[in-house]
Amino acid sequence: MHHESCIEEVSLVDVTPEINLTVEPYLNGVRVDSFLSRHLRNYTNFRIQRMVHTGQVRISDATVPLSQRVFVGQTVGVRLVEPPDKLYEAQPLAISIVFEDPWIMVIDKPAGMVAHPVGPHQTGTLCNALQWYLDQTSLCRGILRPGIVHRLDRMTSGLIVIAKDHLSHRHLSLDFQNERVSKSYLAIVEGQPRDAGVINLPIGRAAGDETILMTTREDAIKPRPARTNYKVLQRDESVSLVKAKPFTGRNHQIRVHLAAIGHPVVGDDYYRANGKLKPKRPDAFESPSRHALHAHALQFAHPITRVWMEFESQVPDDMSRLIHAQICSRL
C-alpha cells in the first residue's frame, strides 16, 4: 500500500518546465509568437502558437492572445506543455570543447565529421553531438539548439564557434557577414609556392557541376570577389606548409584559391592545379580522403560581451605525419 500511495503522489506533481524570457531591444514591438520563435528555436510556429492559444504564455502574470505584441524589458513566461518538434537527433558523440560559456561554444572539430545534417548524413554530425550535450546541461530537452554560423568542410579539422542562444547566433552571423571575424588555416600543399602572396580571384560555382563545386575560372556561375593571403611556413622536397588567411567567406575558398595558383591542398578530392576539377567519383561524398587543411586560429568579438577572443588549435597528428616533425615544432 505504501508503495502504491507514493506512485500516486508522484503522478500528481506538475513537472512542466517553465521559463522566463526578457524582450530584447531589437525585438521590441513584434508579436508574441514571433518573439518566442527566436528563443525557442527547436519549436515550430504551430507548437508555439498552440501554447499561446491554450494560455501557457503570460506577461505580467496575465495570459496573452496571439495578437499580443511584446516590448523591450518585458518578461514573457512560458509553460512548456508542448514538446520541441524540430530537434536534431541527440547523440552522445565525443566532442572537443575548447571554450564554453552561457552563450557560445568553441569546438575543435575532427576531420570526417559533418558540421550539420545534410543529405544522407542526418546522424553522426557535430549538431547531433551538440544537441545531446546541450540537453544534458539544460532545464529540459530541446530548450537550446546549436547554432552553426560558419562552415567547416567535412574533411577539414579545427576550430568552429557555435551559438547556444538566438541573440548570440544573430550577432555572430552579422559579424561573419560583415567580415569582422579573423580565421587562419594551416594547409599542406603540393609543390613550392612563393614565400608569400595574395590571391585575389573571384569564386563562383563550377559550370554544370551538380555537387556545387567552386571555381575561379572565367565560366564560373555568379562569381563573387574573394581574397586569401598566404605565407609559406616550411618547405619539404615535394610539399609546403602554408598558413592561409581568408578575408572573405566563399565556399571552399582556401582549397579553390590554392589550387588556382598551382598548389592544391594535399589529399583534396575535388580541386587540382590551375583551376582544374578532378573527375567526380560516385562515392566521393561517402568516403572522401582527408585533405590536409586545418582551421588553426579563430578570433572574434564575443557576441554578448563584445570582448575580443582568440583561440588556437594544434596541428592534428595526421597532418603532422605528412611533414617532418621539426616543422610542427616551430608553429
At residue 86, the pLDDT reads 87
Instruction: Kindly state whether residues 46 and 74 are assigned to the same domain.
Output: yes
Is 301 part of any domain?
A: no
Selected catalytic residue, list 33, 108, 135, 153: 153
Q: Where a domain ends, among 138, 160, 177?
A: 177
Residue 283 has pLDDT above 60, yes or no: no
Alpha carbons 39 and 143: distance in angstroms, whole number: 8
The number of helix segments (H) and strand segments (E) in the chain equals 8, 17
Is 73 part of any domain?
A: yes
Q: What range does the domain containing 197 cover?
A: 182-291
At residue 5, the pLDDT reads 31
Residue 190 has pLDDT above 90, yes or no: yes
At residue 4, the pLDDT reads 36
Q: SS3 for 218?
A: coil
CATH code at 135?
3.30.2350.10
Is 20 part of any domain?
A: yes
Instruction: Kindly state whether residues 36 and 74 are assigned to the same domain.
Output: yes
Which class for 225: exposed (0-12), middle (13-18), buried (19 or more C-beta within 10 A)? exposed
Give me the residue label for grid cell 608553429: 331
Residue 329 has pLDDT above 50, yes or no: no
* Number of folded domains that form the chain: 3
Instruction: Kindly state whether residues 269 and 193 are assigned to the same domain.
Output: yes
Instruction: Kindly state whether residues 105 and 197 are assigned to the same domain.
Output: no
Which class for 313: exposed (0-12), middle (13-18), buried (19 or more C-beta within 10 A)? buried
Instruction: Kindly state whether residues 9 and 40 are assigned to the same domain.
Output: yes
Residue 284 has pLDDT above 80, yes or no: no
Instruction: Kindly state whether residues 217 and 145 are assigned to the same domain.
Output: no
At residue 10, the pLDDT reads 37
| Confidence bin at 8 (pLDDT 50/70/90) | very low
At residue 1, the pLDDT reads 39
Torsion angle of alpha carbons 231, 233, 234, 240, nearest 10°?
Answer: -40
Alpha carbons 244 and 196: distance in angstroms, whole number: 10
Alpha carbons 175 and 296: distance in angstroms, whole number: 19
CB atoms within 10 A of CB 264: 25
HSE at residue 253, side-chain half, CA atoms within 13 A, is 28
Instruction: Kindly state whether residues 57 and 106 are assigned to the same domain.
Output: no
| Confidence bin at 19 (pLDDT 50/70/90) | very high
Q: SS3 for 36?
A: helix
Pick the closest to residue 153 from 246, 65, 39 (CA basis). 246
Is 49 part of any domain?
A: yes
Alpha carbons 267 and 318: distance in angstroms, whole number: 12
Pick the closest to residue 328 from 126, 206, 186 (CA basis). 186
Is 308 part of any domain?
A: no
At residue 121, the pLDDT reads 79
CATH code at 40?
3.10.290.10
| Confidence bin at 281 (pLDDT 50/70/90) | low
Question: Phi then psi for 129, rounded to 5 degrees?
Answer: -65, -40
Instruction: Kindly state whether residues 245 and 173 are assigned to the same domain.
Output: no
Q: Where a domain ends, among 177, 195, 217?
A: 177
Residue 6 has pLDDT above 60, yes or no: no
On whether the CB atoms of residues 172 and 300 are closer than 8 A, the answer is yes
Is 300 part of any domain?
A: no
Is 331 part of any domain?
A: no
Instruction: Kindly state whether residues 165 and 110 are assigned to the same domain.
Output: yes
Residue 12 has pLDDT above 50, yes or no: no
Instruction: Kindly state whether residues 20 and 63 are assigned to the same domain.
Output: yes
Rounded to the nearest integer, the mean pLDDT of the chain is 88
| Confidence bin at 3 (pLDDT 50/70/90) | very low
Instruction: Kindly state whether residues 213 and 248 are assigned to the same domain.
Output: yes
At residue 193, the pLDDT reads 94
Share of the chain above pLDDT 90, in %: 73
Instruction: Kindly state whether residues 187 and 260 are assigned to the same domain.
Output: yes
At residue 209, the pLDDT reads 61
Write down the pTM of the prediction: 0.85
Is 29 part of any domain?
A: yes
> Which cell numbers hold the place of 127?
549538431
Pick the closest to residue 257 from 286, 226, 233 (CA basis). 226
Q: Where a domain ends, among 143, 158, 177?
A: 177
Active site residue 317: no
Residue 14 has pLDDT above 90, yes or no: no
